Amino acid sequence: MDFALTAEQKQIKEMVSEFVDEEVKPRAAEIDETDEFPADLVAEMGELGLMGMPFPEEYGGAGLDYHSYAIGLEEISRGSGGLGTIVAAHTSLAGNMLYEFGNEDQKQTYLTPLNEGTDIGAFALSEPGAGSDVPAMETTAKKDGDEYVVDGGKLWISNGSVADTVVVFAKTDPDAGNKGISSFVVRPDEDDGFVVEGTEHKLGDKGCPTAELRFDDMRVPEDRLLGDEGDGFVQALKTLNGGRITIAARSIGIARAALDDAVKYAGEREQFDQPIGDFQAIKHKLADMDTKVQAATLLMHKAADLKMRDETFIKEAAQAKLYASEISREVANEGIQIHGGYGYTKDFAAERYYRDAKLNEIYEGTSEILRNTIGDWLQK
C-alpha cells in the first residue's frame, strides 16, 4: 500500500495550488460578498484543464485519475467553497452522466465542450417534494413524435442559471415508480420552455448559483435521451455515488483552509505575553483538527481507489462524504473559536469556512441518508 503521490499527482497538486493561491484566494471574499458567478475564473480553469479532469483526452478532458481529480477539487475548494461546487456539479454530475451513459455522438457534441470549459454543466434531479425521495418527482416527459415534451420544475440546481447543458430527470412512465424515470440532455438556449425562476439566497457556497428551474411544454429531441427510457434512477444513483467522493474533497479543502488559518492566527495572536498557540488548550484543538483532516483524506482516497479499480465503492463513498462533511464543519467551528471574537466577523475568513462547510452535510446525500446507506451495506 503506497500513500505517496505519483509525480503526476504532485504536479497537479502544485499547479492547482498555485492557481488557487494567486487567482482564487485574493478573490474569495469578493465572491462571497457579491455572490456573482466568477465566469473569468471558470474560463481560466477551463484553459488549465480543470473542468474535465477525470475524462479522456479524446473528449477534451485532461485524462487524470480520480485521485488527481479529488486532489485538484480539494485545492480549488481550499480557495473558494463556491468554486468547488461549480466544478463538482459540472464535472462529477453533468459531465459524468454524459461520459457514463451518453452515446458517442452525445459525448462528442455535449461532453467535449464541458471538458474544455467552453460550456457549463448542471444536473437537475431535486424538486421541492423530491430531494432524498427521488421517485416522488413530478416532472414528466411525454413522447410526441420524435420529441419529448417536458413539464415540471427543479429546485436546488447548482449552476442551473448559467449552464449551457443541463441533465434533466423526468418521468416517462409515471406509473412505474423509480423504473419510470429517464434522463435527458437539455440545452437552455435552444429548448423553448426552459425557464430560470430565480436563484437562492444561501448561507454560504456563494458564487455558485443555485437555481429554481421550470419547464413549460419544453420540447427535447429524442436523440437527447441518455441511455434508454427508465434508466434514469439507476443512472442518478451511480452518478451521485461518484459525486460523493468529490464532495468529500470539497469538505477536506474547506477544512484545510480553516486549519491553515487557525494555525497562522494561533502563532500570531498573543495573550498573557505569549502566542495563544503555546497554550495546551489551543494546541489540542489544532491537533484534533489536523487529525480529522488526515483521516477524512484517507477515506476519500480509499473510495477513489475502489472507483478506479472498478470495484463496488458505494459504502466507502458514503463514509468518505459523511465523515469529511461533518469534520469540515467541526474544524471550521474550531477555527472560529480559536480566532475568538474576530472569528465571528467578516474581517477574517473563519466564518466563511463555517458557512461553506455546512452545505457538505446536505447536498448529494444528507448525513442521515448516508448513514442509512452505510447501515444497509453492513447488513448485506
Q: Read off the CATH number of the domain in which 219 is found.
A: 2.40.110.10
Judge if 107 and 134 occupy the same domain. Answer: no
Domain ranges, residue 154: 122-232
d(CA 265, CA 270) in angstroms, rounded, equals: 9
**What is the predicted pLDDT for the residue at 344?**
98
Domain match, 211 and 174 both: yes
75, 334, 361, 364: the catalytic one is: 364
Kindly report the length of the chain. 380
Q: Are strands 121-124 and 165-171 parallel, antiparallel or unpaired?
A: parallel
The position carrying cell 472569528 is: 343
**The pLDDT of residue 351 is above 80:** yes
Residue 219 within any structural domain of the chain:
yes
pLDDT given for residue 2 in this prediction: 81
Share of the chain above pLDDT 90, in %: 98
Q: Are residues 38 and 84 in the same domain?
A: yes
Q: What is the C-alpha separation between 30 and 38, in angstroms, rounded?
A: 10
* Burial (0-12, 13-18, 19+ Cβ within 10 Å), 280: exposed
- What percent of the chain clears pLDDT 70, i.e. is strictly above it? 100
Q: Are residue 270 and residue 295 in the same domain, yes or no?
A: yes
- Does 74 share its domain with 95? yes
275 assigned to some structural domain: yes
Mean per-residue pLDDT, 12-39: 98
DSSP string, 47-64: HTT-SSTTS-GGGT----
153 and 197 Cβ atoms separated by less than 8 Å:
yes
What backbone torsions phi and psi does residue 164 show, to the nearest 5 degrees? Answer: -95, -25
Residue 293 located in a structural domain = yes
pLDDT band at 270 (very low <50, low <70, confident <90, very high): very high
Q: Report the C-alpha gap between 94 and 122 in whole angstroms.
A: 5
Q: Are residues 23 and 92 in the same domain?
A: yes
Shared domain check, 140 and 99: no
Pair 115, 153 in one domain: no
Residues 17 and 127 in one domain: no
Taking only the tens place, the pLDDT of each residue in 169-203 is: 999 999 999 999 999 999 999 999 999 999 999 99
> Which of 76, 96, 120 finishes a domain?
120
- Residue 144: the pLDDT is 97
Residue 122 confidence (pLDDT) above 80: yes
Residue 1 lies in a domain: no
pLDDT of residue 131: 86
Residues 103 and 129 in one domain: no
Same domain (yes/no): 223, 296: no
Axis-axis angle for helices 280-308, 232-268 (nearest 10): 150
Same domain, yes or no: 134 and 110: no
Q: In this predicted structure, what is the pLDDT of residue 15?
A: 98
Among the three residues 232, 261, 284, which one is the final residue of a domain in this structure? 232
pLDDT tens-place string over residues 46-99: 999 999 999 999 999 999 999 999 999 999 999 999 999 999 999 999 999 999
d(CA 30, CA 180): 44
Q: Measured between alpha carbons, how far is 183 from 118 in angstroms, rounded to an integer?
A: 23
pLDDT of residue 132: 87
Please, what sign has the CA dihedral across residues 353, 158, 299, 130?
positive
Q: Whole-model pTM above 0.85? A: yes
* Total count of domains within the chain: 3
Domain boundary among 216, 232, 248: 232
* Catalytic annotation present for 364: yes
Q: Can you tell me the mean pLDDT for 342-350?
A: 97
What pLDDT is recorded for position 380?
Answer: 82
Q: Identify whether 186 is part of a domain.
A: yes
- Count CB-CB contacts under 10 A for residue 244: 28
2 located within any domain = no
